[in-house]
């Protein structure tokens, strides 16, 4: 395996990008103390995946970054790239003539490993370099001060050094990783067995549950099928009911139209009957008014006949009394002793100048004081229709007759306000 070049940027004292070309054979880096000769070997260890601060002569991972100087500020990241010649096929799984292995680190601890500019894991990079004898702990790079340690080492340490130089260290590390994997697998197997034992205990209940679940699924499918059939039957029944309802609605609409026509005819007949009834009512009112007028006239005629008969009888009585008086009077009576007919009192008049009669306190034959009601003489004027009035009326007859026209109260045609008084 031939290391062709080393590219450094921001690693320790290499602030600016630097490329170190290594030709075949022995390459020697010469310089004064403090010029950064050891930083070159440290960069190789760091790029191959070394994580031990002691191998890199640092206290923490960020110490490999350039910390700044009086004229240069500190940088945020560093990168080291190793370019190997793969022409001899040392890495058969990489079909490339050159293989570039790089490592980057940002201030804050974020790092990245690259193989031919492709990101890989650290364990993959370590396995890849261990195939060619490179990597931390393989003694392929002996740093400053390590020669004296090797010379003063114990036989066991010298044996490890020889095994590493012979290439056995990588197999030991692989065996160690395999043992660790086997230990983890054993732990996982134990856990799997515990889980299996727990599952075995629950296997029978789970089998019963699975059987119940299968049966429930079958029953669910059967229920769904039955529900679908029921829904189909319901739809058919609803369709029939809808058709029947439509037919009933059409029949009802026809009946309603017929009833509306009948109602319209009845309304027309009712209106005609109401018009006829109105006409009949008018004729009836006219006939009733004529009947009342005829009855009133008949009653007035009867009253006048009674009055005339009473007046005739009174006149005959007065005449007979006068005749008897004349026959019995002595011849020496003077003419002045002859009885004169009573003089008529002038009629009373109200504020408007119309004639009025004194009102009585009731329709009986006695006053409230208990004295007999006086006989009122009817006025010489007639009723509202111009008929003449009679003369004297008895108190019993006056209580049931009009005081103006001497007609009965039920047949009187005088004003109501005048008939209300007795």
pLDDT at 63: 81
Residue 247 has pLDDT above 90, yes or no: yes
Per-residue pLDDT, 125: 83
pLDDT at 353 > cutoff 60 = no
Task: Collect contacts of 115-119 with beta carbons under 8 A, ≥24 apart.
Answer: none
Q: Read off the pTM.
A: 0.42
Nearest Cα residue to 110 out of 78, 158, 145: 78
Supply φ then ψ for residue 345, to 5 degrees.
-70, 140
- pLDDT at residue 407, rounded to an integer: 66
pLDDT of residue 401: 64
**Averaged confidence pLDDT in the chain:** 77
Report pLDDT digits (tens) over 17-61: 888 888 887 778 888 887 788 888 888 888 888 777 767 777 787
pLDDT digits (tens, 9 = 90+) for 303-330: 889 888 988 888 898 888 888 888 876 5
230: confidence class by pLDDT, cuts 50, 70, 90: very high
pLDDT at 342: 54
For the ranges 114-128, 161-175, 218-232, the lowest mean pLDDT is seen at 161-175
Predicted local distance difference test score (pLDDT) of residue 362: 43
Which of these ranges, 6-10, 182-186, 224-228, has the smallest mean pLDDT? 6-10
Quick one: pLDDT band at residue 93, thresholds 50, 70, 90? Answer: confident
What is the rounded CA–CA span in Å between residue 268 and residue 281? 19
What CA–CA distance (Å, rounded) separates 143 from 44? 11
Per-residue confidence band for 86, with pLDDT thresholds at 50, 70 and 90: confident
Is pLDDT of 1 > 80? no
More confident residue, 329 or 191: 191
pLDDT for 383-412, tens place per residue? 444 444 444 455 555 556 666 666 666 666
- What's the pLDDT at 390? 42
CATH architecture of 2-166: 3-Layer(aba) Sandwich (3.40)
Note the pLDDT of residue 267: 92
Distances (CA, A) of 402 to 102, 264, 386, 422: 148, 54, 15, 7
C-alpha span between 68 and 10 (Å, rounded): 10
- For residues 12 and 18, what is the distance between their CA atoms, to the nearest angstrom? 12
Average pLDDT, stretch 87-104?
A: 84
- Model confidence at 363, pLDDT cuts 50, 70, 90, reads very low
Cα–Cα distances in Å, from 10 out to 42, 62, 210, 276? 13, 12, 66, 127
Is residue 200's pLDDT more than 90? no
* pLDDT score of 376 more than 50: no
Please name every residue paired with 115 in a beta bridge, in sequence order, or none if there are none: 101, 118
The percentage of residues in the chain with a pLDDT greater than 70, rounded to a whole number, is 73
pLDDT bin (cut points 50, 70, 90) of residue 155 is confident
Q: What is the pLDDT of residue 367?
A: 46
For 126, residues 6+ apart whose C-beta sits below 8 A from its C-beta are 48, 49, 135
What is the DSSP track for 119-188? EE-HHHHHHHHHTTT-STTSSSS--TTHHHHHHT--HHHHHHHHHHHHT-HHHHHHHHHHHHHHHHHHHH
Q: Which residue has the higher pLDDT, 184 or 390?
A: 184
Q: Does the pLDDT at position 178 exceed 80?
A: yes
What is the DSSP secondary structure assignment for residue 96, as one 8-state letter?
Answer: -
Break the chain into its structural domains and give their ranges: 2-166
């Amino acid at each position: 395996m031939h290391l062709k070049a080393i590219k450094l940027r921001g690693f320790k004292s290499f602030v600016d990008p630097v490329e170190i070309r290594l030709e075949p054979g022995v390459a020697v880096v010469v310089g004064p103390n403090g010029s950064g000769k050891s930083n070159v070997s440290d960069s190789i260890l760091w790029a191959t995946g070394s994580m031990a601060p002691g191998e890199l002569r640092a206290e923490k991972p960020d110490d490999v970054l350039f910390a700044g100087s009086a004229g240069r500020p500190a940088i945020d990241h560093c990168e080291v790239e190793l370019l190997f010649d793969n022409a001899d096929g040392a890495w058969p799984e990489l079909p490339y003539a050159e293989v570039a292995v790089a490592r980057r680190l940002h201030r804050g601890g974020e790092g990245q490993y690259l193989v031919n500019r492709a990101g890989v894991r650290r364990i993959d990079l370590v396995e890849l370099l261990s195939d060619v004898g490179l990597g931390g702990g393989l003694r392929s790079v002996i740093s400053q001060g390590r020669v004296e340690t090797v010379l003063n080492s114990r036989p066991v340490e010298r044996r490890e050094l020889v095994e590493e130089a012979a290439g056995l260290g990588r197999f030991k590390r692989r065996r160690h990783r395999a043992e660790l994997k086997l230990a983890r697998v054993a732990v996982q197997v134990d856990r799997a067995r515990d889980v299996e034992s727990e599952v075995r205990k629950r296997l029978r209940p789970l089998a019963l549950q699975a059987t119940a679940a299968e049966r429930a699924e079958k029953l669910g499918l059967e229920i769904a099928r039955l529900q679908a059939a029921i829904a189909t039957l319901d739809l058919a029944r609803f369709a029939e009911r809808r058709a029947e309802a439509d037919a009933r609605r059409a029949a009802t609409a026809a009946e309603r139209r017929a009833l509306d026509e009948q109602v319209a005819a009845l309304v027309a007949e009712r209106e005609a009957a109401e018009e006829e009834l109105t006409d009949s009512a008018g004729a009836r009112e006219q006939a009733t008014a004529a009947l009342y007028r005829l009855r009133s006239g008949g009653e007035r005629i009867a009253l006048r006949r009674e009055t005339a008969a009473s007046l005739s009888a009174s006149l005959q009585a007065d005449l007979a009394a006068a005749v008897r008086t004349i026959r019995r009077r002595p011849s020496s009576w003077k003419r002045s002793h002859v009885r004169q007919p009573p003089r008529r009192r002038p009629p009373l008049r109200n504020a408007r100048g119309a004639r009025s009669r004194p009102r009585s306190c009731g329709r009986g034959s006695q006053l409230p004081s208990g004295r007999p009601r006086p006989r009122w003489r009817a006025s010489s004027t007639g009723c509202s229709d111009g008929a003449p009035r009679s003369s004297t009326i008895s108190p019993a007859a006056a209580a049931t007759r009009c005081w103006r026209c001497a007609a009965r109260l039920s047949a009187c045609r005088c004003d109501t306000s005048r008939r209300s008084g007795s």
